[in-house]
Structure formats: C-alpha cells, structure tokens
Amino acid sequence: MKIKLTKLIGNSTLEVESDKQDIKSALAEVLLFTQPDICGKCGSDKIEFITNKAVTDEGTFIYVKRRCLNETCKATSTMGEYKGGGQFWKAWEIYQPNADTPQTNPASQPYPPSQTQQYEPPMENNH
C-alpha cells in the first residue's frame, strides 16, 4: 500500500511517502507530520523545522526538531525514535542549561541558511 502526505510548512512544501505493506506502519510513518504546527509551550504558529548533527564516540546522530520562532519562547520539539522502529515527536521544551554548561542562549545561535526559514505572514488584501 502506498500512502502520500503533502504538507505546507511556512513557504515550503513537504512530501512524505510510505510504501510499507502493513497499513498501520504506513500510516504511522506519514501521520508523524500531521501534528499541528503550534508550539506546545506558548501556542505560537510560527514554527520552523531544523536539523543538527552530533558526532560522538558512539557514532553520528542526526536530530530533527521543530522550533518556535516566538522571540520570548524558542521552545523545541525533537523527533524521537522508537527502539522497535518508527518515530514520534517529543514534548515541547525550553532549553535549560545545567550548572556545567556555559550560559548561552541557543535561540541566539545562528543556523546555516539552509536550515532556517524566516516566517512570513500571509499577505492581506485590503481593497
């Protein structure tokens, strides 16, 4: 069975397709992207998708996140992965450094242009 999802995210279109034989697995794969693009902390609909890569002694890890663009919030929701396969969105959280972490605001850190989109509200037609 083939299932295809097309979703508008800001000014971009995301197309996700699954061709898993098991309908539950196919639906689970595409339904991940049907979650509302609303911050779970402040309710803002100004959300962007970002990625980053971490290299450790255990390997290379790719993180996919949704980030709130509200300047007073900047919460993120990271994509998690089940041990048995499949993905899910973790709860929205606001970065809280621990005592050993230098006090910097990750929201102020620049992202490469390929990973950042500026939110542009829809144009209103006032005639």
Q: Where are the domains of the chain?
A: 1-34, 37-115
Question: What sign has the CA pseudo-torsion 117, 15, 78, 39?
Answer: positive
Closest CA to 94 of 52, 44, 60: 44
What's the pLDDT band for 18 if we cut at 50, 70, 90? very high
The proportion of the chain whose per-residue pLDDT surpasses 70, expressed as a percent, equals 77
Give the amino acid at 2: K
- Per-residue burial over 55-82, b if 16 or more Cβ lie within 10 Å, else e, is eeeeeeeeeebbbbbbeebbbbbbbeee
Hey, which residues does 68 pair with through a beta bridge? 47
- Position 115 scores a pLDDT of 42
The proportion of the chain whose per-residue pLDDT surpasses 90, expressed as a percent, equals 45
The owner of tokens 């959280």 is 93
What's the pLDDT band for 122 if we cut at 50, 70, 90? very low
- Position 99 scores a pLDDT of 65
Give this prediction's pTM: 0.66
pLDDT tens per residue, range 32-89: 888 888 999 999 999 999 999 999 999 999 999 999 999 999 999 999 998 888 899 9
